[in-house]
Structure 1
């Protein structure tokens, strides 16, 4: 119960709980859409989903500043690849929040005469940019881990023993596919934060891809990906050690 209270007391925690509820409602509504006996329930779920989405927009009003500050910090990282990926990802997030805040202001009547579809598309493009750069960071971290492990003699012997291959494989610079799978599994086992962040970003990727028409998915798939991503986000709040570090 204390963990739940800690999550609720954080603005990020409330946003992720709202997000999880939003996509859970969307997933349930999609699953029940063809059941004529549940039309009233589907209608209620859709209204609750819309309310959760509106509430999240209100929570995100100050996130632009946070994203800009994060971009400034990440721009000072010593690793140039991490610096580029994280700084651009944060800039993408900041631009996304600006578009999102504009849409919220238009929705409550504070702004008039704006093209909502155009702003929504711009928000999705910025979100997509942020996710692509975040995934690039994940790939870089994984590739760096794989490169480090292939240079360790004792790990190469362990890998060869596990795969029951000829010792000559240990001298190969680029591992074979089965060796690469072994390395990836070892990476995710020793660094679960990397696995969670990768899965989260891949799941989130379906949302802007669908909205922009780049890769169409059905509403159920998008809702499932959004729910899984939200649950991972909640887990990383409850367990900060499972949140990937720069």
Structure 2
């Protein structure tokens, strides 16, 4: 049983998505702990270390996504041909928005590591807006699919 567990850990860590999930878990956990320590004045020194860890992991995750915007552009090109109009538009626009979000996020990363002088607030806000539109489009698509499934169930029962 222990070997299976270790095999799963090795498989998980060998995938970029697995490492990103692990980094995100540690990043958000450290961010929460840092906030908690600051709020209750428990350990300023540890809070500063956790803040630095969170920032470093955020920068690392941004770096790991370099070039990923091309994947989303490719996905948008593939989804243009879907027969269902709602799915075609929501998926295609979502992938295009996600591509632009990542492109702007790369600009933020370049500014953060000192490769470029940028207005971090401007590019960060633009990136966040495209990310939010992506989320909204994905929710619309999910709701559309859920409603479709519910109507199919109702038709089958009648």
TM-score, normalising length: structure 2: 0.89
Question: Per-residue deviation at 1:76?
Answer: 1.9
Following the alignment from structure 2 to structure 1, what is the Cα–Cα distance between the partners of residues 113 and 36?
A: 31
Question: Per-residue deviation at 1:44?
Answer: 1.5
CA-to-aligned-CA distance 1:94-129 (integer Å, 9 cap, x gap): 0001101111112222222x3221111110110011
SS for the counterpart of 2:149 is helix
Alignment-derived partner of residue 154 in structure 2: 150
Following the alignment from structure 2 to structure 1, what is the Cα–Cα distance between the partners of residues 154 and 136?
A: 27
SS for the counterpart of 1:152 is helix
Q: Which has the higher relative contact order, 1 or 2, with Cα contacts under 8 A spaced 6 or more apart?
A: 1
The answer to whether residue 14 in structure 2 is matched with residue 14 in structure 1 is no
Question: Per-residue deviation at 1:62?
Answer: 1.4
The answer to whether residue 132 in structure 2 is matched with residue 128 in structure 1 is yes
Q: Which residue of the other structure, out of 105, 114, 121, is the alignment partner of 1:117? A: 121
Alignment-derived partner of residue 73 in structure 2: 68
Alignment-derived partner of residue 59 in structure 2: 54
Could you tell me whether the CA contact under 8 Å between 2:76 and 2:93 is conserved in 1?
yes
SS for the counterpart of 1:33 is helix
TM-score, normalising length: structure 1: 0.59
State the superposition RMSD in angstroms: 1.4
User: Which has the higher Rg, Structure 1 or Structure 2?
Assistant: 1
Following the alignment from structure 2 to structure 1, what is the Cα–Cα distance between the partners of residues 113 and 52?
A: 17
Alignment-derived partner of residue 202 in structure 1: none
Q: What is the number of residues matched between the two proteins?
A: 153
Following the alignment from structure 2 to structure 1, what is the Cα–Cα distance between the partners of residues 152 and 72?
A: 31
Alignment-derived partner of residue 177 in structure 1: none
Alignment-derived partner of residue 3 in structure 2: none
SS for the counterpart of 2:67 is helix
CA-to-aligned-CA distance 1:39-92 (integer Å, 9 cap, x gap): 222121111101100100110111111111111112222222111111111111
Give 4+ residue runs of structure 1 displaced > 4 Å after superposition. Answer: none
Following the alignment from structure 2 to structure 1, what is the Cα–Cα distance between the partners of residues 43 and 147?
A: 48
Q: Which residue of the other structure, out of 79, 83, 90, is the alignment partner of 1:85? A: 90
Structure 2 unaligned regions, length at least 5: 1-5
Following the alignment from structure 1 to structure 2, what is the Cα–Cα distance between the partners of residues 92 and 121?
A: 14
Following the alignment from structure 1 to structure 2, what is the Cα–Cα distance between the partners of residues 124 and 49?
A: 18
